[in-house]
Amino acid sequence: MATATTPKRPAAPKVPDQKNFINGQFVPSASGKTFAAINPATGKEICQVAASDAADIDQAVKAARRALDNPDWKRMDAPNRGLLMNRLADLVEQNAEELAVLESLNSGKLIGDAQGDVQGVVNTLRYYAGWADKIEGRTVPVRGNFLSYTLRQPVGVVGQIIPWNFPLLMLAWKWGPALACGNTIVMKPAEQTPITAMKMAALVQEAGFPDGVINLVNGLGETAGAALVAHPDVNKIAFTGHYETAKLIQKSAADTLKRCTFELGGKSPNVIFADCDLEAAVEGAFHAIYFHGGQCCTAGSRLFVEDKIRGEFVERLAAKAKDRKLGDPLDDATQQGPQVSQEQLDKILGYIKLGEQEGAKLVAGGARFGDQGYYVTPTIFDNVKDDMAIARDEIFGPVVSVLAFNDLDEVVARANSTYYGLAAAIWTQNLDKAHAYAREVKAGTVWVNCYHVVDTTTPFGGFKMSGQGRENGEAVLDHYTELKTVTIKLNK
Ligand code: NAI
Ligand code: MG
C-alpha cells in the first residue's frame, strides 16, 4: 500500500491575490472579476486571481505593440538584449527557493522537482540569451548584378498560452526564444497555476525590461485564451496543452492567418527488450510513467515489454509502486504529490474504471489516495490490448498500460499505431535494435536506455497530433523570426 508522509518543511508562505502584468504595471482585471487558485495537496484556496477577458487582452496586446516599436527595445543592441535576459536569469537564481516553494504549493509538484525546474528556467534563459546576437541572415548568390541578402526580424507580438504541469519551465521555453529574436509577449498562464508567473513578472520589472515587452494576463482558456488567439494584432500563437484546444486555436487563428506552433502531449511507447539491463529498465520505466504523477507530455504510458520477461518485469514494477510514498509535495521525503485538480483526478479515476471494464488486469494502485487533495495511487494495468481506451488516450496521470510483444518489427508497428508522436524509448543492449527503432518510430524525441532527458539545447516537439513546430535548441528560432530578402541593383 502506498504510504503517507508527514510535512517537515515550514508552513508555505501566505500568497497575496494575483493581478495581471500589463505595460510594466500590476493591474486588476478590467471587470474586477477574480477566481480562486487552489492548493492541490489540500483542495483549499491559496489566493484570488484576476479573471481577465477580451478587454484585458486588448490592453496587453496594445502595450506589446507599442513596446515592439519602442526604440528602447527595437533598437537595443542584440548583445544588450542578451545581457538583459541574463540579468533575468540571475534574478531567477537569486530567488530560486521562493520560486520553487511557490511552484510546489500551486502545482503540487515535488519540491525537489520544482527546484530542478527553476534551474531549467535559468538554463533556458541563459541559452537563449546567448542566441540574441547570433540571429544572422545570409548573403545569397542571386542571378544578375544584384546584391541579395536576408534579414531575420521579429515576428512581432506573440501570444503564448501555457499549461499547469511545468508552469515555470513552459514560461521559460516560450520567453527565451521570443525575447532572443526581439519579439514582445502577451502570455496567458494556466488558470490552475498563475502564481510563479506573476513572481516572474516582478523579476522582469526588476531586471529592467522596457514596459510592455512582457505582459501576463490571467484568466480562463475560453475567455482570456480565446481572446488572445482571436486578436487581430497578435502575429503568432505558441501553445502547449491538449490537441482539442489546439484545434480550436487553429480554427480561430485561421481568421487572421496567425502563425501557430503547438506542443500537444502524447501516448509515448516505452519498449523493453529482454536483452536490456533489467535493473536500469525497471527504474527507467517507473520514472517514465510516475515522474510528476504522470502529468508529463512525454510520460511513458504505453509500456511494451518483451513477453518472455513480462512476468518478472511487472512484478518488480508493482513492488516499487506499492512502496511509493505519497504526501505533501513540500516534504523532501515525499515521492509523489497530488494531481493538479479535481478535474484531472476525475479524469484519471474515470480511465481506471474504464480499464477494468475493458478487461485489463489491475496489478497495482487503481484508487484515490487519502480524502483531501487530489492524490491517485501509482497504477499498473497488465494484459492491456492496443485498442483499449487506456492504451489509446492520454490519461495524464500515474497509470501505465503494459503491453506484451515478441519482436522488433511488430513492436515498431504497434508503437506507431497512435495519433500521437511526441516521445519514444527503447531499452536494449543491442545497437542494431536501438538504431532501427530510433529511425522507424514516429516521434520527435527518442531515448535509448534513458527517459525524460530533455535539455534546452535539443529540439523538442511532436509528429502527428503531438504538435507542430519545435521548441528548444536552434530549431525554435525559425518560429520567432520572419525572413526578409533585400535585393539591391548594382551598377558595376
Ligand atoms: P488545455 O489544453 O485546455 O489547457 C492548456 C492551456 O490552454 C491553459 O492555459 C488554458 O487556459 C488554455 N486554453 C483552454 N482552452 C482554450 C481556448 N479555447 N483558447 C485558448 N486557450 C485555451 O488543457 P487542460 O484542460 O488543462 O488539460 C486537459 C488535458 O490536456 C490533460 O488531461 C492532458 O491530457 C492534456 N495536457 C497536455 C499538456 C502537455 O504538456 N502537452 C499540458 C496540459 C494538459
Ligand atoms: Mg481544458
Rounded to two decimals, what is the model's pTM? 0.97
**Mean pLDDT on 74-95:** 98
Q: How confident is the model at residue 348 (pLDDT cuts 50, 70, 90)?
A: very high
Q: What number of residues does the chain have?
A: 492
Residue with grid cell 471494464, as numbered in its chain: 357
What spacing in Å lies between the alpha carbon of 66 and ligand 2's midpoint? 31
Does the pLDDT at position 7 exceed 80? no
Return the number of other C-beta atoms located less than 10 Å from residue 259's C-beta. Answer: 18
Mind listing the pLDDT tens digit for each residue in 251-307? 999 999 999 999 999 999 999 999 999 999 999 999 999 999 999 999 999 999 999
Q: What angle do CA 224, 226, 230 make, to 5 degrees?
A: 115
Q: Spell out the alpha helix ranges (H) of 277-421.
A: 278-290, 307-323, 342-357, 389-392, 408-416
Q: Which amino acid is at 207?
A: A
Does the pLDDT at position 6 exceed 70? no
Ligand at minimal distance from the CA of 163 is 1
**Mean pLDDT on 417-429:** 98
Mind listing the pLDDT tens digit for each residue in 221-235? 999 999 999 999 999
**Mean pLDDT on 214-221:** 98
What spacing in Å lies between the alpha carbon of 380 and ligand 1's midpoint? 25
In angstroms, the CA 440 to CA 50 distance is 47
Atom of ligand 1 nearest to the CA of 249: 19
Mind listing the pLDDT tens digit for each residue in 376-409? 999 999 999 999 999 999 999 999 999 999 999 9
Query: Could you tell which of 239, 245, 420 is best to mutate to test the pocket of ligand 1, judged by most ligand atoms within 8 Å of the CB?
Result: 245
Please give the C-alpha separations between residue 359 and each of 250, 305, 390, 401, in angstroms, as whole numbers. 37, 19, 11, 12
In angstroms, the CA 347 to CA 369 distance is 15
Atom 10 of ligand 1, nearest CA residue: 221
Ligand at minimal distance from the CA of 190 is 1
Does the pLDDT at position 12 exceed 90? no
| Residue 356 is a catalytic residue | no
Does the pLDDT at position 363 exceed 90? yes
Non-local CB neighbours of 140 within 8 Å, separated by 6+ positions: 148, 149, 150, 485
Atom of ligand 1 nearest to the CA of 344: 32
Q: Which amino acid is at 138?
A: R
Residue with grid cell 531499452, as numbered in its chain: 427
Burial letters 39-68, b for 16+ CB under 10 A, else e: bbbbeeebbbbbbbbbebbbbbbbbbbbbb
In angstroms, the CA 293 to CA 337 distance is 7
Atom 38 of ligand 1, nearest CA residue: 241
Atom of ligand 1 nearest to the CA of 192: 26
Could you tell me if the CB of 461 is within 6 A of ligand 1? no
What spacing in Å lies between the alpha carbon of 244 and ligand 1's midpoint? 8
Please tell me which residue, 69 or 10, carries the higher pLDDT value: 69
Burial letters 204-219, b for 16+ CB under 10 A, else e: bbebebbbbbbbbbbb
In angstroms, the CA 196 to CA 383 distance is 41
Does the pLDDT at position 2 exceed 70? no
* E runs forming strands in 345-474: 361-364, 368-369, 375-376, 379-382, 399-405, 423-427, 445-448, 467-468
Is residue 308 helix, strand or coil? helix
Could you tell me if the CB of 229 is within 6 A of ligand 1? yes
Of 47, 191, 260, 263, which one is the catalytic site residue? 263
| Residue 440 is a catalytic residue | no
Mind listing the pLDDT tens digit for each residue in 142-184? 999 999 999 999 999 999 999 999 999 999 999 999 999 999 9
Residue 97 CB-half CA count within 13 A? 4
Does the pLDDT at position 9 exceed 60? no
Rg (CA), the chain: 23
Mind listing the pLDDT tens digit for each residue in 176-216? 999 999 999 999 999 999 999 999 999 999 999 999 999 99
Mind listing the pLDDT tens digit for each residue in 111-142? 999 999 999 999 999 999 999 999 999 999 99
Does the pLDDT at position 31 exceed 70? yes
CB 444 within 8 A of CB 460: yes
Could you tell me if the CB of 118 is within 6 A of ligand 1? no
Could you tell me if the CB of 396 is within 6 A of ligand 1? yes
Q: How confident is the model at residue 13 (pLDDT cuts 50, 70, 90)?
A: confident
Of 297, 306, 394, 471, which one is the catalytic site residue? 297
Non-local CB neighbours of 328 within 8 Å, separated by 6+ positions: 5, 6, 7, 9, 41, 334, 337
Partners of 263 in beta bridges: 240, 467
**Mean pLDDT on 13-18:** 93
User: What percent of the chain has a predicted confidence (pLDDT) above 90?
Assistant: 97
CB 325 within 8 A of CB 2: yes
